[in-house]
């Protein structure tokens, strides 16, 4: 199928000889190509900027700027689109031809030229231009596809690891992180603590005021907990009204202070979805620390969960430390943290355990 002149690339003709320009333009016009002219190198560069031709046919020897200088300047400023450069020359010296190739010349046309050879070389350049454009189009499409795939994978990752309601990391992410920290604790013997956190009487709130209010409270609580814990700690929603706080590299006495701080912050916060004039809710938490006697990660989580159950049994709105967790008194005395209600409660718990 023949291509129309509108489909064919624009060709720039650069030569200081008017007769040569007329002859080139005539032959190319007969073959359906549109051309523009430049009588010297300076004008040729200006024409390239203005019209952006895809093929250049330039004489080697011209005043002000020769063909090699035009080609070098073109290659320095060339963007993503290929510009095919054909040099008109009477040069037969191999060293000069090699110099021209090094400057970026794509092909040569000897003077005096033959019409058939002219059109053959121009058509070869046209094929090269179209091939490069096609590759660029495919490359752009591939880049877009890769971007879309990356975005899709990111969405899938978030669906797999982020709780949709609270935007906290979910149970899957919590277990993944805990397995990493568990392995570190086993290898290096470092501390690891975690706390199971539950909203007090949440079922009553849901049954009385509806799940929309309950969802709003969950979202608010997620924000309060995330803003209260240290930057190195992490809050996860692991199901329903239950949350998990992980305290990497923290012994139980330090983690207790953090958990108690969270409890007090929740108790003093206003929850827009909460019932009653105070708009407040409370939480209970069970805290446990890894010990060498624990065989699996489930043992640590079970210890924290049992402590949470004990907190519920003892009246809610409190943090209970697992009886399995060792808390050296000297560590408490050496703590730089000011004695607060939470630390006082911890000390009281230790005394009761003794």
CATH code of residue 239: 3.30.70.270
- 333 and 194 in a common domain: yes
Q: Is 216 left (phi over 0), alpha (psi -120 to 50) or beta?
A: alpha
| DSSP, res 162 | B
Q: By the 8 A CB rule, do 266 and 259 touch?
A: no
Q: Are 186 and 291 in contact (CB under 8 A)?
A: no
pLDDT band at 5 (very low <50, low <70, confident <90, very high): low
**Phi then psi dihedrals of residue 108, to 5 deg:** -125, 150
Assess whether 179 and 128 both reside in one domain: no
Q: Would you say residue 157 lies in a domain?
A: no
pLDDT at 353 over 60: no
Does 155 fall in a domain? no
Task: List, in sequence order, every residue forming a beta bridge with 226; answer none if it has no partner.
Answer: none
Where in the sequence is the domain holding 109, given as residue range(s)? 11-138
**pLDDT tens-digit readout, 262-272:** 999 999 998 87
Number of Cβ within a 10 Å radius of residue 276: 9
CA angle 134, 137, 140 (to 5 degrees): 150
Contact indicator for 19, 113 with CB cutoff of 8 Å: no
Instruction: Give the total residue count for the chain.
Output: 354
Say whether both 214 and 328 belong to one domain.
Answer: yes
What pTM did the predictor assign? 0.58
Q: d(Cα 309, Cα 290) in Å, to the nearest integer?
A: 19
Does the pLDDT at position 331 exceed 60?
no
Q: Which of 90, 122, 138 is the last residue of a domain?
A: 138
Q: According to the model, what pLDDT value does residue 6 have?
A: 57
Same domain, 301 and 185: yes
For residue 224, tell me if it sits in a domain.
Answer: yes
Residues of the chain with pLDDT > 90: what percent? 62
Give 110's DSSP letter: E
Residue 105 lies in a domain: yes
Indicate if 178 and 293 belong to the same structural domain: yes
216 and 343: one domain?
Answer: yes
For residue 291, tell me if it sits in a domain: yes
Instruction: Answer whether residue 290 is part of any domain.
Output: yes
Residues 34 and 124 in one domain: yes
CA-based nearest residue to 84, from 53, 115, 114, 109: 53
In a domain, 315, yes or no: yes
Is 308 within 8 Å of 281 (Cβ atoms)? no
Q: Which two tokens stand for residue 108?
A: 């040569």
| Cα dihedral value 297, 302, 305, 307, nearest 10 | -110
β-strands 242-248, 107-110 pairing: unpaired
Domain harbouring 115, CATH code: 3.40.50.2300
Of the spans 9-13, 138-142, 184-188, 336-340, which averages the highest pLDDT?
A: 9-13
Q: Is residue 154 part of a domain?
A: no
Is 130 in the same domain as 179? no
- In contact, 280 and 274? CB cutoff 8 Å: yes
pLDDT of 158 over the 60 cut? yes
Structure confidence at residue 345 as a pLDDT band (50, 70, 90): very low
Same domain, yes or no, for 337 and 264? Answer: yes
As for how many domains the chain has, the answer is 2
Is there a single domain that holds both residue 134 and residue 181? no
The answer to whether 222 and 235 are in contact (CB under 8 A) is yes
Residue 152, pLDDT > 80, answer yes
Alpha helix (H) residue ranges in the chain: 18-30, 41-51, 67-77, 94-103, 115-161, 171-188, 202-209, 211-228, 252-268, 297-313, 329-334, 341-353
Whether the Cβ atoms of residue 244 and residue 174 lie closer than 8 Å to each other: yes
Task: Verify whether residue 69 is a known catalytic residue.
Answer: no
Encoded tokens for 176:
């993944």
pLDDT digit string (tens) for 227-251? Answer: 999 999 999 999 999 999 999 999 9
Specify whether 318 is located in the same domain as 183. Answer: yes
Q: 234 and 97 in one domain?
A: no
The one catalytic residue among 126, 241, 253, 324: 241
């Amino acid at each position: 199928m023949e291509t129309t002149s509108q489909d064919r690339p624009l060709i720039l003709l650069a030569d200081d000889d008017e007769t040569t320009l007329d002859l080139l333009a005539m032959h190319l016009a007969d073959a359906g190509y549109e051309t523009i002219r430049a009588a010297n190198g300076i004008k040729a560069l200006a024409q390239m900027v203005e019209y952006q031709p895809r093929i250049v046919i330039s004489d080697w020897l011209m005043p002000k700027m020769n063909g090699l200088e035009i080609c070098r300047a073109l290659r320095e400023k060339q963007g993503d689109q290929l510009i095919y450069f054909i040099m008109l020359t009477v040069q037969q010296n191999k060293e000069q031809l090699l110099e021209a190739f090094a400057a970026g010349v794509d092909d040569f046309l000897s003077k005096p030229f033959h019409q058939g050879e002219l059109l053959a070389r121009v058509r070869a350049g046209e094929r090269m231009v179209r091939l490069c454009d096609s590759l660029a189009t495919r490359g752009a499409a591939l880049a877009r596809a890769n971007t879309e795939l990356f975005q899709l994978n990111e969405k899938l990752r978030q669906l797999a690891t982020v709780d949709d309601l609270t935007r906290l990391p979910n149970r899957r992410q919590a277990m993944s992180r805990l397995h990493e920290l568990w392995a570190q604790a086993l290898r290096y013997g470092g501390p690891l603590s975690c706390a199971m956190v539950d909203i007090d009487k949440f079922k009553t709130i849901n049954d009385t005021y509806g799940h929309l209010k309950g969802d709003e409270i969950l979202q608010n609580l997620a924000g309060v907990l995330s803003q209260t814990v240290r930057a190195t700690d992490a809050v996860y929603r692991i199901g329903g009204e239950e949350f998990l706080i992980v305290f990497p590299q923290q012994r139980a006495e330090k983690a207790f202070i953090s958990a108690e701080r969270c409890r007090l912050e929740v108790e003093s916060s206003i929850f827009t979805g909460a019932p009653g004039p105070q708009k407040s809710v409370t939480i209970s938490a069970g805290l446990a620390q890894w010990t060498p006697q624990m065989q699996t990660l489930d043992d640590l989580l079970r210890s924290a969960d049992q402590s949470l159950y004990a907190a519920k049994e003892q009246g809610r709105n409190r943090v209970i430390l697992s009886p399995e967790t060792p808390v050296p008194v000297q560590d408490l005395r050496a703590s730089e943290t000011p004695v607060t209600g939470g630390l006082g409660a911890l000390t009281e718990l230790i005394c009761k355990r003794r």
